[in-house]
Structure 1
């Protein structure tokens, strides 16, 4: 099923219920939903999962001298979680008012998040080579997120 269609049907369903509330109550409900959705997104990013449940594509191993060592004992590559700071409330912000809510990234990390969200090409380091990053969906709705919105 198309995710845009699911989002539109959820919006239609929720807007009918929210129209019955006073603006202050709508703002409070939107803020609560936004906080819960942010928690859900943070947990999913920490688990390194896309909204469809598939795992993020792992990092490409570094090979340049002078960079942080990625090899542990016996030659195994260390796998550290990606995006540890992106998922913090400092960078993943919510905006909620009586008309809607938004969850997104702010500042310089917004560009990094966009590159990974859509699998764009970017420089590995300033002045460095370009690399096409695989799509790792940082923000998106899961089935549990839709249920969470319906239950609230």
Structure 2
């Protein structure tokens, strides 16, 4: 870090101590929000704090298109419901993905959770997987899109400082990727090792941004306090 930033931090500390609790919280809240935004933008760019690119997502075995529709009973929140799928395909995790006729959209189901296979009704017989493939592409999107959203990547303040990070279940998931740990991708799957992808971490640019923001806030406060 440059000598200018060190000197600025020392000057800022003296003025921060002169602020009221409310003024400190207001300033720290703004800094936390700016840092959280910077973290989201970096994650969206698929970059680690040191500027290196995230290791790409592991390419799964290509899905095998089905030869026709399927009908089966599957557990649901209200008990067991009948599922009629058209244009479905399988992947290496024993997942079936296709158009759920009764739900009216693309859905995925665990093969091992099927309660009972049923004959396909006559009106739904025929048709392959072309419709599904035209609607595919979800896995080609950037990683951690939902995890880095404001719903999961949060910030907070108190009288002494601020924090930016994850909490609850999101914290557990983020920690696996942050440190490159092992976990099961699904309940019935085998545990695998995930590459280390640092989601949280302040860069030198973040540090300078926060110091500049702190300086601007303190200049305003100094004018009010006549420091």
TM-score category, normalised to shorter length = 0.7 to 0.9
* Superposed displacement of residue 85, structure 1: 0.6
Q: Which of residues 8, 19, 22 in structure 1 aligns to 2:20?
A: 22
2:175 equivalent to 1:107: no
Equivalent residue for 2:57, pick from 34, 59, 78: 59
C-alpha separation in 2, matches of 1:145 and 1:22: 25
User: Which residue of structure 2 aligns with residue 38 of structure 1?
Assistant: 36
- Provide the C-alpha distance between the structure 2 equivalents of 1:17 and 1:150, rounded to a whole number of angstroms: 13
Which segments of 5 or more consecutive residues in structure 1 lack a partner in the other structure? 2-8
Please state which structure has a larger fraction of its residues in strand: 2
Task: In structure 2, list runs of 5 or more residues that go unmatched.
Answer: 62-91, 98-132, 214-227
Aligned residues: 138
Q: CA deviation at 1:98?
A: 1.8
Query: Residues 16 and 57 (structure 1 numbering): CA distance in 2 closer, same or farther, change over 3 Å?
Result: farther
Q: Does 1:84 align with 2:145?
A: yes
- The one-character-per-residue Cα deviations of 1:107-129 (angstroms, maximum 9, x if unpaired) are 32211100000111111211311
Query: Residues 58 and 32 (structure 1 numbering): CA distance in 2 closer, same or farther, change over 3 Å?
Result: same
Cα offset, 1:67, TM superposition: 5.7
The answer for the alignment partner of 1:49 in structure 2 is 47
Q: What is the TM-score when the length of structure 1 is the normalising length?
A: 0.81
**Take 2:208 and 2:143, find their aligned partners in 1: how far apart are those partners?**
27
Cα distance in structure 1, aligned partners of 2:96 and 2:146: 20
Structure 2 counterpart SS, 1:25? helix
Q: Match of 2:191?
A: 130
Larger CA Rg, structure 1 vs 2: 2
Structure 2 distance, partners of 1:16, 1:129, is 54
Q: More deviation in 105-114 or 137-146?
A: 105-114
Tell me the TM-score normalised to structure 2 length: 0.55
- Distance change (3 Å), C-alpha of 1:15 and 1:122: farther
